[in-house]
Amino acid sequence: MAEKRVAIVTGGAQGIGLAIVRQLSQEGAAVVIGDVQQAKAQAAADQVAAAGGQAIAVAVDVSREQDVAALMEQSLAAYGQIDVLINNAGIVQTGPVTAITESAWEKVMQINVKGVFLTCRAVLPLMMARRQGWILNMASVAGKRGGGLLGNSCYAASKGAVIAFTKSLAREAAPHGIIVNALTPALTDTQMTSGLSDEQRQAILGQIPLKRAAKAEEVAAAACFLVSDQASFIVGEIMDVDGGLMMD
């Protein structure tokens, strides 16, 4: 990551998002931490500042168009440009299809899919005007192989949509100098996955050749690579960070 780039990270207050925020800051980027949990986002921004970096916190519900517009406005007011967008905000819904309510399905789709659409749509004109930009959408191996053991078909469907959207957007954006990719992690040790039972966790790990979950920092390293100059010829890629789970 080149110094002085400005990166928005949604869902950046904890888990993988916070790990990405920390690594981007260490690499010299100014970071906008967009999160629905304003207090946690501000605490993360304070941590970055204490370590000598630059970060601001912006309260945002990515499923709300007006929130996304405000996120862009506050980012520009603080730093004058937006170079990188990492769409990390997301929620999970588990359970068999027969147990998923319509409202639960809609909430997952609103945040995981509509949120990615809204942020990308908002940032694209800014990047197109400069003929430069990097967009990374966080998907999941569940979007490729289905919900699997946990019966999280809703979550898998949302991440499958993110994968398809990423490929389509990459084709649209590349002629304007904008690099678009997605990352598909497997089980990662974060607060989101802390509620798994030991039985569920062991069942998932049994399918991963490395026999362990990813660390948030390992996923963050891949994310930061994909928005760096070192990945400048990687376009429309859906990169697995999965300990070998998706090996052919």
Q: pTM for the complete prediction?
A: 0.95
- State CA 234 to chain mean position distance: 17
pLDDT above 70: residue 226 = yes
Q: How far apart are CA 248 and CA 238, in angstroms?
A: 15
Q: What is the pLDDT of residues 145-173, one digit of tens each?
A: 987 666 789 999 999 999 999 999 999 99
Q: Active-site residue 155, yes or no?
A: yes
Structure confidence at residue 150 (pLDDT): 65
- Cβ proximity of 142 and 148 under 8 Å: yes
Which two structure tokens, joined as six digits, stand for 248?
A: 């052919």
Domain 6-241 has CATH 1.20.1730.10: no
Quickly count helices (H) and strands (E) in the chain: 9, 9
pLDDT above 70: residue 122 = yes
pLDDT above 60: residue 2 = no
Place of tokens 């999941």: 140
Structure confidence at residue 191 (pLDDT): 75
Q: 22: part of which helix (H) or strand (E)?
A: helix 15-26
Name every residue whose Cβ is closer than 8 Å to that of residue 248 and which is 6 or more positions away in sequence: none
Structure confidence at residue 149 (pLDDT): 62
Catalytic residue among 63, 86, 150, 155: 155
Q: What is the pLDDT of residues 195-215, one digit of tens each?
A: 677 887 888 888 889 899 899
Q: What is the pLDDT of residues 53-87, one digit of tens each?
A: 999 999 999 999 999 999 999 999 999 999 999 99
**What are the backbone dihedrals phi and psi of residue 111, each rounded to the nearest 5 degrees, phi first?**
-80, -50
